[in-house]
Structure 1
Amino acid sequence: MIEVRNLTKRFGAATAVDDLSFSVRPGVVTGFLGPNGAGKSTTMRMIVGLDTPTSGEALVNGVPFRELDAPARTVGCLLDASWTHANRSAGSHLKMIAAAADIPVSRVDEVLTLVGLADVAGRKVGGYSLGMRQRLGLATAMLGDPEILMFDEPVNGLDPEGILWIRRFMHARAAEGRTVLVSSHLLSEMAQTAQDLVVIGRGQLRAQTSVEEFLSQASSAVVLRTPHVDEFASAAREEGINANFDAQQGVFLIDGQSARQVGDLAASLGITIHELHEKRASLEEAFMALTDQDVEYHGQESAR
């Protein structure tokens, strides 16, 4: 389990992480989300002892990472896939890590097979694609067969097959009872990967919840398509219902009502319904609504 307690990190006058607290439970994939500059990478680095907190603490199974008896067997992390020496082969790199962590060398072949790099284990890493480097980073993280896994943007450089593979990889590790924390800017992928969410902005906690609860708290609307536009619009006004007609899409977008309530109103009017359903906000929409004030750099939309 990972616990972050009142964690703060300052770099000079800049505060990267600000009194941040959250926990990551085992058995599920937890998505770690936030805009650029929110403090996600800094937080993950503090969890594994690469950065020292200004105040507060990050605990792994109840103790700071540096106090773990066998850190490589407890935590596996992929924070930067580009750090591997370019002139060293994948096999040599993993054997070096195994020797330093007192891990049997037989484990090297096991993790290379696990991530699909067994056939290229003898090639120099400098000739690897970014996606292959990501897989090598995953192999390194899994070398000690750890109970806790942390991945920072693990799908960078992966093709669709690779993204699907790593999604299944993380689900399988969580199903084994491991703790899995993963950050990503690909929110559509996180919607399919994570069960829990930790959302931060400007170094502060914005939300910790399940994906389902996070989406349920976001705005939603009922979509109604009917050829009887004027009749429904008039009835909605009389009932005090906020029904906005999108002429481009040819549908009503109705706030504050369930699909059943809208359907009952249409039935009472005897009008034909061609489409009726509740449209929930996507993870991307819910995330943007929550963190819009935390985005440091807003691009200007092109004028046409």
Structure 2
Amino acid sequence: MIEVRNLTKRYGPATAVDDLTFSVRPGVVTGFLGPNGAGKSTTMRMIVGLDTPTSGEALVNGVPFRQLDDPARTVGCLLDATWTHANRSAGSHLKMLAAAAKIPNSRVDDVLGLVGLTDVAGRKVGGYSLGMRQRLGLATAMLGDPQILMFDEPVNGLDPEGILWIRRFMHARAAEGRTVLVSSHLLSEMAQTAQDLVVIGRGQLRAQTSVEEFLSAAQSSVILRTPHVDEFGAAAREETINATFDPQQGVFVIEGLSAQQVGDFSASIGITIHELQEKRASLEEAFMALTDQDVEYHGQESTR
């Protein structure tokens, strides 16, 4: 389990992480989300002892990472897939790390097979594609067979097959009872990968919840199609229902009511319904609504 308690990191006058508190439970994939500059990478670096907090603490199984008796067998992380020496082969890279952590060489073959790199283990890493480097990073994280895994942007630059493979990899590790924390800017992918979410902005916690609860809290709308446009519009205005007619689509978009409530209202005024569906906010829409004030640089909308 990962616990972050009142964690703060300052670089001179700039505050990267600000009194941040959250926990990551085992058995699920937890998505770590936030705009650029929100403090995600800094937080993950503090969890594994690469950066020292200004105040607060990050605990791994109840203790700071630097106090772990056997860190390689407790935490595995992929924070930068490009750090491996380009002239070293994947096999020699993993054997070097295994020797440093007193892990048997047989484990190197195991993790190479786990991530599908057995056939290219003798090739220099400099010739690897980004996807292969990501797989090598996952093999490195799994080398000590740890119970806690942390991945920072593991699907950046990958093709759809690679993204699907990593998603299944993380699901499989969580299903084994491991703690899995993963950051990503690909929100559509996180919607399919994570069960829990930790959302931060400007170094502060914005939400910690399940994906389902996060989406349920976001504003949803109901789409209604009826041949009785004027009748429904007049009745909705009389009842102060927030219903906007979209003439291009030929539907009403109704805010603040469930599909069942809209259906019951339509029945009560005796109109025919041709379509009735509830449109829930996507993870991207819910995320943007929550963190819009935290985005440091906003682009202008195109007018062309």
Shared fold (TM-score greater than 0.5)? yes
Q: How many Å separate the matches in 2 of 1:167 and 1:116? A: 15
Q: How many Å separate the matches in 2 of 1:103 and 1:297? A: 45
Moved more, 257-266 or 154-163: 257-266
Moved more, 245-254 or 186-195: 245-254
CA RMSD of aligned residues (A): 0.9
Mapping 1:46-125, distance limit 5 Å: 46-125=46-125
Q: Give the secondary-structure state (helix, strand or coil) at the position aligned to 1:299.
A: coil
Cα deviations across residues 220-260 of structure 1 (Å, max 9, x unaligned)?
11110122211110111122211111122221111222212
Q: Percent identity between the aligned chains? A: 90
Residue 277 of structure 2 corresponds to 277
Q: Give the secondary-structure state (helix, strand or coil) at the position aligned to 2:69.
A: coil
Mapping 1:201-280, distance limit 5 Å: 201-280=201-280
Q: How many Å separate the matches in 2 of 1:297 and 1:249? A: 33
Cα deviations across residues 13-64 of structure 1 (Å, max 9, x unaligned)?
1100011011101111000000000000000000000000011110000111
| Structure 1 residue 69 displacement after superposition | 0.7
Q: Which amino acid aligns with 1:165?
A: W
Q: Give the secondary-structure state (helix, strand or coil) at the position aligned to 2:205.
A: strand
Q: Give the secondary-structure state (helix, strand or coil) at the position aligned to 1:291.
A: helix
Can you give the 5+ residue segments of structure 2 that lack an aligned partner in the other structure? none
Residue 185 of structure 1 corresponds to 185
Residue 291 of structure 1 corresponds to 291
TM-score under structure 1 length normalisation: 0.98
| Structure 1 residue 192 displacement after superposition | 0.6
| Structure 1 residue 302 displacement after superposition | 1.5
| Structure 1 residue 264 displacement after superposition | 2.1
Mapping 1:122-201, distance limit 5 Å: 122-201=122-201
Residue 8 of structure 2 corresponds to 8
TM-score under structure 2 length normalisation: 0.98
Q: Which amino acid aligns with 2:174?
A: A
| Structure 1 residue 86 displacement after superposition | 0.2
Q: Give the secondary-structure state (helix, strand or coil) at the position aligned to 1:36.
A: coil
2:41 is equivalent to residue 41 of structure 1: yes
